[in-house]
């Protein structure tokens, strides 16, 4: 149940850039021996086209002195447009730019021609290992290890990213907040290890009942969870996801006496408000709906009206 957009294993794609066909051929042979997927470009200008057309590469190996667009200009372009792509600069003209120059400009390493296969393999492997480690650390910082869902820190980041995008592209976004009813009673009766297992099971239910690579599932904190639901055209469609989760939860007798309360709200953009204010309003309306449901005994879905959190809830809706 790892996050959809952050695979821990990187599929390495390397772009080889050199105007000398002999050097480019040597680099191609080296990549084939190492087992890396690669593409080639004859200069920095062609490399920019490949980057734009084919997406972000893991690594770019580039010559420094080339016509049209040299290695330093290409390096600058990559650092500005593709910050996740690492660059190793290869040159036979150390009098023009040295190791310090290219590293200060953002390169990961520097290779002087002529170079050996061993040196090339060692430097490429080091960069890929470092990228994999950074990716794993990023994963740990974004995920709740008990449930294997995203954590609250990433929830807040994802709201700030997903909601403005949805507004620009014209599709609705809903937020569902979940709370486990009588979770303290369950912990007191069965112990905290059983409580942890229950939270882990909820994570599995979320992943089973939501749309892969569309919905975003989070452990909000404690026994609270959240789902960001984009592309649902109506509140009923968004509610179907909440209903599926609740129905799946109800089918398991060993979760008794707990149940799920769910508050569902649609994002609304208000003229004159900041994005932060409208996002806070979305969370507040979903939270208010959630606790309205809990006040009625729990085990229900409450839909918040598309109004400011300062307004009263419309008549509650049971699912």
pLDDT digits (tens, 9 = 90+) for 212-229: 889 999 998 899 999 999
- pLDDT of 162 higher than 80: yes
Q: By percentage, how much of the chain surpasses pLDDT 70?
A: 92
- The values of phi and psi at residue 19, to 5°, are -85, -5
**Averaged over 227-239, what is the pLDDT?**
91
pLDDT of the residue at 95? 58
pLDDT tops 90 at residue 154: yes
> What's the pLDDT at 309?
52
pLDDT tier at 3, thresholds 50, 70, 90: very low
- Assigned fold of 13-142: Rossmann fold (3.40.50)
CA distance 212 to 317: 27
Asked whether this chain's domains 13-142 and 152-303 adopt the same fold, the reply is no
Cβ atoms of 175 and 269 closer than 8 Å? no
Check whether 316 has a pLDDT greater than 80: no
What distance in Å separates the CA atoms of residue 172 and residue 235, rounded to the nearest whole number? 9
Q: How far apart are CA 187 and CA 116, in angstroms?
A: 62
Highest mean pLDDT among 32-36, 128-132, 312-316: 32-36
Q: Which two tokens stand for residue 160?
A: 């700030």
Segment 170-197 shows an average pLDDT of: 95
Most confident of 8-22, 99-113, 281-295: 281-295
Confirm whether pTM is higher than 0.85.
Answer: no
Q: Say what the pLDDT of residue 183 is.
A: 96
- Distant-in-sequence, close-in-space partners of 293: CB < 8 Å, separation ≥ 6: 261, 262, 263, 300, 301, 302, 316
The SS3 assignment for 189 reads helix
H runs (alpha helix) in 210-309: 235-250, 275-295
What is the per-residue pLDDT for 27? 95
Class of domain 152-303 as given by CATH: alpha beta
CA dist 270 and 277 (Å) reads 9
pLDDT of residue 1: 41
The single-letter DSSP state of residue 253 is G
Local confidence band at 96 (pLDDT 50, 70, 90 cut-offs): low
Structural domain spans, the chain:
13-142, 152-303
Distance CA 11, CA 8 (A): 10
What is the token pair recorded at 240?
């179907």
Q: Quote the pLDDT of residue 7.
A: 47
pLDDT band at 2 (very low <50, low <70, confident <90, very high): very low
pLDDT category of residue 202 using cuts at 50, 70 and 90:
very high
- DSSP E strand boundaries for 57-97: 59-63, 86-91
DSSP state of 304: P
């Amino acid at each position: 149940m790892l996050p959809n957009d952050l695979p821990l294993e990187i599929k390495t794609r390397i772009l080889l850039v050199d105007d000398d066909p002999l050097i480019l051929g040597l680099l191609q042979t080296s990549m084939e021996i190492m087992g890396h997927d690669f593409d080639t470009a004859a200069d920095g200008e062609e490399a920019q086209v490949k980057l734009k057309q084919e997406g972000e590469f893991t690594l770019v190996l580039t010559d420094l002195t080339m016509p049209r667009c040299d290695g330093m200009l290409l390096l600058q372009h990559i650092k500005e447009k593709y910050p996740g792509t690492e660059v190793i600069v290869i040159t036979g003209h150390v009098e023009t730019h040295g190791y310090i120059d290219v590293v200060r400009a953002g390169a990961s390493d520097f290779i002087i021609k002529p170079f050996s296969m061993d040196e090339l393999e060692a430097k490429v492997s080091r960069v890929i290992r470092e990228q994999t480690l950074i990716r794993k650390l990023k994963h740990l910082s974004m995920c709740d290890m008990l449930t294997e869902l995203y954590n609250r820190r990433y929830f807040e980041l994802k709201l700030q990213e997903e909601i403005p995008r949805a507004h620009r592209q014209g599709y609705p976004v809903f937020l569902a907040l979940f709370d486990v009813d009588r979770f303290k009673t369950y912990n007191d009766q069965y112990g905290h290890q059983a409580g942890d297992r229950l939270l882990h099971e909820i994570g599995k239910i979320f992943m089973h009942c939501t749309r892969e690579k569309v919905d975003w599932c989070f452990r909000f904190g404690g026994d609270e969870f959240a789902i960001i639901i984009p592309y649902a055209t109506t509140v009923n469609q968004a509610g179907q996801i909440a209903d599926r989760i609740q129905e799946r939860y109800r089918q398991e007798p060993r979760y008794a006496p707990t149940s799920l309360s769910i508050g569902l709200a649609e994002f609304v953009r208000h003229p004159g408000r900041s994005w932060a204010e409208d996002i806070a309003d979305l969370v507040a309306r979903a939270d208010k709906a959630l606790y309205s449901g809990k006040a009625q005994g729990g085990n229900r879905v409450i839909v918040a009206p598309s109004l400011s959190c300062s307004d009263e809830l419309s008549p509650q809706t049971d699912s």
